[in-house]
Structure 1
């Protein structure tokens, strides 16, 4: 099993102006000394954040408790930078604000990290390194009830569409895949109509660090569909946390954001592929 921080090379990171790492809900003491502490990190646009984004963490928590020797000590949403240039991507200020409202008002353990959002585009591998650095180097990890120090393993939480792109030749660099899946590992939430067998077969070398979580109650709510509803003047209540719905209405968001055309979707996939192949600076 890979241990978080075992291959960590970076000693510091350039932070956005006025940035501080949020850790008020990070549990610093393990409940069970026999388990390995982990933090879940979900990277994405969150434009806007939906109940499915939040539900992913709860599904992962149930899976971890019932099927692994891990203990979750925290969960983070990391909104992508505006420089990602994805269709329908609202500016980072609003996306971080909506995610913060959602986490603070619906959860007792989720947090929002704005490091990725307020600077140039950062690759997923680098984002995970950032969390590893902040939690294990700056904060000093966690400890057992007897005072024994433990490093926290950072793990990526994502939908099955991500694992599909990882299995496609040339989309992700082998170095990044080895860094993400080899050093850290990932929990993949099954999504409706998305097969994962072929994808995981192509990633067999990292299979011990890939945990597949079935979605027992299918939910196909997406940010794209929510934006389309808003553009058409339809209600999105009960698709998003009420605080997020209120924020969108108060700020008049997404009124000019129409549905992505097939051409735009094609460009989006090309952009994602190009972004994932960037080399470490």
Structure 2
């Protein structure tokens, strides 16, 4: 039986168009967290939604200001999923690999941890040091006006690149804080391990098998250094998909497939179906999108007269 401190603490990061964000996207987060918790090996402490940059060039992609707002509306009642605008705010489109590395580096800056270089992993843990005596890394619940954008932790870097090991801070109690939500008062951990995992559907996993679509070096970092959590969609055969890619086969132990005995209706919900329903005035759109998102779409006249 693993203790709380020996379990791997996980932040799930999902990249995509979210054009618009659907109930299926939120369901994916919930199913992944439930599955990881049931495994007894993981504790999910946060989820991040990162909408793609406008220059991605996908037909029918509405401006990021709308997609960010819809995402915010979709997670407004969640106490653990937040929306991160960094990707949208860049000068141009960012690769999934770059987004993962940004959040890892952001965590490094916030926590003061020293991380090994991606291309020269250290075989021994690196002890973290405070950085330049800037503002306090820990804040109490009475002072959260200047919130950092990532979970606040302190400590050392383990030998695996996507992981941050953290030791107990001096303060008796501290809080995980992000831009939109207080993730709750944390236990006084002697040492915990934190990983950022890419959360995706089986369609993204399948895209890894398309020659030339992904750079091999990016795939090596995404699957090898970080790891992915896959929520299968519409009865997809993830085992077959993984066997079609040498990189996926090589890092199979870093791929967690969320198994579900019941085919949940949310697993077949998609942004494409949602846009079609909106264009055709189909009442089933309420099955695909949350009401605040539908209200915003109608108010802003999105998708109604567009194709794609």
Report matched runs for 1:1-281 at 5 Å.
Answer: 32-105=4-77, 107-119=78-90, 120-140=92-112, 141-142=152-153, 145-146=187-188, 148=190, 150=192, 152-201=194-243, 202=245, 203-215=248-260, 216=262, 217-218=264-265, 219-235=267-283, 236-258=285-307, 260=308
| Aligned counterpart, 2:144 | none
Secondary structure class of the residue paired with 2:14: strand
121 and 220 in structure 1: CA distance in 2 versus 1, 3 angstrom threshold = same
Give deviations 1:166-188, integer Å, cap 9, x for gaps.
12333212111110001100001
CA–CA separation in structure 2 for the residues paired with 1:151 and 1:62? 19
Unaligned ranges ≥5, structure 1: 1-30, 261-281
Are 1:186 and 1:210, in contact at CA under 8 Å, matched by a contact in 2?
Answer: yes
Q: CA shift at 1:148, angstroms?
A: 3.9
Contact 1:116 1:122 survives alignment (8 Å): yes
- The whole-number CA distance in structure 2 between the counterparts of 1:205 and 1:241 is 39
Tell me the number of residue pairs that the alignment of Structure 1 and Structure 2 aligns.
228
Structure number with higher relative contact order (C-alpha < 8 Å, ≥ 6 residues apart): 1
Larger Rg: 2
Shift of 1:233: 2.1
Q: Give deviations 1:96-150, integer Å, cap 9, x for gaps.
A: 0000111113x22100000001221000011001111222332455355335464
Q: Contact 2:7–2:193 at 8 Å: present in 1 too?
A: no
TM-score, normalised to structure 1, is 0.76
Pairwise CA RMSD: 1.8
Residues 212-221 or 226-235, more deviating:
212-221
Q: Confirm or deny: 8 A CA contact 2:7 2:192 kept in the other structure.
A: no
Residue ranges of structure 2 left out of the alignment (5+ in a row): 113-151, 154-165, 169-186
Contact 2:5–2:189 (Cα < 8 Å) also in 1: no
CA contact (8 A) 1:156 1:187 kept: yes
Distance across 1 between alignment mates of 2:278 and 2:189: 51
Partner of 2:122: none
Q: Give the deviation of 1:151 after TM superposition.
A: 5.5
The SS at the match of 2:82 is strand
Q: Secondary structure at the match of 2:196?
A: strand
